[in-house]
Amino acid sequence: MPIRQKAQEAGIFEPAELEFLARVFDRLKYEDQTADQREALASRILANFMASIEGEEELVSLSRLPWGRSHMS
């Protein structure tokens, strides 16, 4: 699973955080995604989480947005 691999490579997450990140990833992934798309999704989730977005619903919502987009207009 890309999110676990990316998080483990970073080496800074507790088991509970890994479970949380995996849950968010599972909510956002879809069957027809390519490996590159899943990798990009995992990167967005991690970046948002590391930017102190810790609420699950907010993390899901922000991680749906492509890079370079803000949820505030």
| Residues 10-23: tens digit of each pLDDT | 667 788 998 999 99
Q: Is 68 helix (H, G, I), strand (E, B) or coil?
A: coil
Predicted pLDDT at 18 = 87
Predicted pLDDT at 23 = 96
Question: DSSP string covering 5-31, please?
Answer: HHHHHHT---HHHHHHHHHHHHHH--T
| Residues 23-73: tens digit of each pLDDT | 999 999 999 999 999 999 999 999 999 899 889 999 999 999 876 544 444
Question: DSSP string covering 27-63, please?
Answer: HH--TT--HHHHHHHHHHHHHHHHTT---HHHHHHHH
Predicted pLDDT at 13 = 78
- Rounded Cα distance, 51 and 62, in Å: 11
